[in-house]
Amino acid sequence: MYPEDRVLVALVPEPRDFELIKSQGWYRIPQQTAPKGLYAEYLAFYFGRSFGSQKWAIHYFARNAGHELLLRRALFPEEPDHPRADQPYYRVQLGPLQFLPEPIISVRWRRVTFIHTTWDRFCAARELNDLYLEGGVFVDRLYATLRERGLHPEREYEIHEPGPGYVAPLAIPCRKGRVTLQPGQLPQSDSEVQSLADELTRAVALHGGALHLD
């Protein structure tokens, strides 16, 4: 294991999907929606809402042992009439599942399909926001600065509004809405980190303060 090893965090929507991972030792990804990170050294598994007390968290990971492209009917021969039976899927072979004694949680529910990260970030992460690589070192510093001020920013936050959707590098849910860092506002220096932190903190106050979880 090396700090720069790649980790692909992948959604496991239902417990029956995880039972397949445990019993068969592989994870499936539709070719149509496959991420670029299929060559990551490790896969980590983010549990969806159906997992009860384990939902919205990463509890397990495994080494990536290679992948192959197959039709769904080859993966599930007992389901020949499935609507996606003739669609191609990647079958990612897995090494032994490893359990995280301290799960990596999502503080708030958020839509996650895949997250690309590195082994050093994965090992240090306590929550999902700690995994993101996008935005670079100065967005990391802005995120940490806002956390130090008692705020709860979210990284790579999907915005769904009238018109085309987009992903904000950072957003802070508030009592009266949301304060977002726009893609064109990425900080490029330590001084910009501080000025943006001041600007975002003032905006949060105007929106009724940050939305804290109980």
DSSP 176: T
- Of all residues in the chain, the percent with pLDDT exceeding 90 is 75
Which pLDDT score is estimated for 213?
Answer: 52
Tell me how many degrees the CA angle 40-34-101 measures, rounded to the nearest 5.
Answer: 45
Phi, psi angle pair for 77, to nearest 5°: -65, -20
Q: What are 177-193's pLDDT values in tens digits? A: 889 998 888 899 999 99
Tokens, residue 77: 């021969």
Which pLDDT score is estimated for 32?
Answer: 93
Residue ranges and CATH numbers for the domains of the chain are: 6-131 (2.30.130.30), 136-206 (no CATH)
Q: Is the dihedral of CA 136, 137, 142, 146 positive or negative?
A: positive
Mean pLDDT, 10 residues at a time, over the chain (214 residues)?
Answer: 93 96 96 90 96 96 97 94 95 97 89 92 95 88 92 88 84 90 90 93 87 56
Task: Determine the straight-line distance between the first and last CA of the chain, rounded to whole angstroms.
Answer: 37
Measured CA to CA, the distance from residue 61 to residue 44 in angstroms comes to 4
Distance of CA 122 to the CA centre of its chain: 11
pTM: predicted TM-score of the whole model, two decimal places = 0.85
Q: Is the dihedral of CA 165, 169, 172, 173 positive or negative?
A: positive
Q: What are 69-97's pLDDT values in tens digits? A: 999 999 999 999 999 999 999 999 999 99
| 97-to-60, 101, 179 alpha-carbon distances in Å | 6, 13, 39
